[in-house]
């Protein structure tokens, strides 16, 4: 069984996160599961394609 586990936090460098995805596809050929276990605290406007950094 081949397993890759990663924790890409909100302060991660976007290029590094992209590289992680590329490496996963190159090595395993697919991604079977992605879990976005994120929460937003407070009132924050979230728009498509934006990164949310509640303050």
Q: Give residue-wise pLDDT tens across range 1-53.
A: 777 777 777 677 888 888 888 988 998 898 887 777 666 666 666 666 556 54
pLDDT in tens, 6-16: 777 767 788 88
Max intra-chain CA distance, the chain: 42
Buried-exposed string 14-24: b where 16+ CB fall within 10 A, e elsewhere? eeeeeeeeeee
Rg of the chain taking only CA atoms, in angstroms: 14
What DSSP element (H or E) covers 18?
Answer: helix 14-28
Q: What angle is formed at CA 18 by the lines to CA 42 and CA 2, rounded to 5 degrees?
A: 105
Q: What is the pLDDT of residue 39?
A: 65
Q: What is the pLDDT of residue 41?
A: 65
What's the CA gap between 19 and 32, in Å, rounded?
A: 17
Q: What is the pLDDT of residue 55?
A: 46
């Amino acid at each position: 069984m081949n397993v890759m586990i990663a924790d890409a936090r909100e302060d991660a460098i976007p290029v590094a996160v992209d590289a992680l995805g590329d490496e996963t596809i190159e090595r395993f050929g697919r991604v079977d599961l992605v879990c976005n276990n994120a929460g937003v605290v407070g009132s924050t406007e979230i728009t498509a394609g934006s990164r949310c950094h509640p303050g």
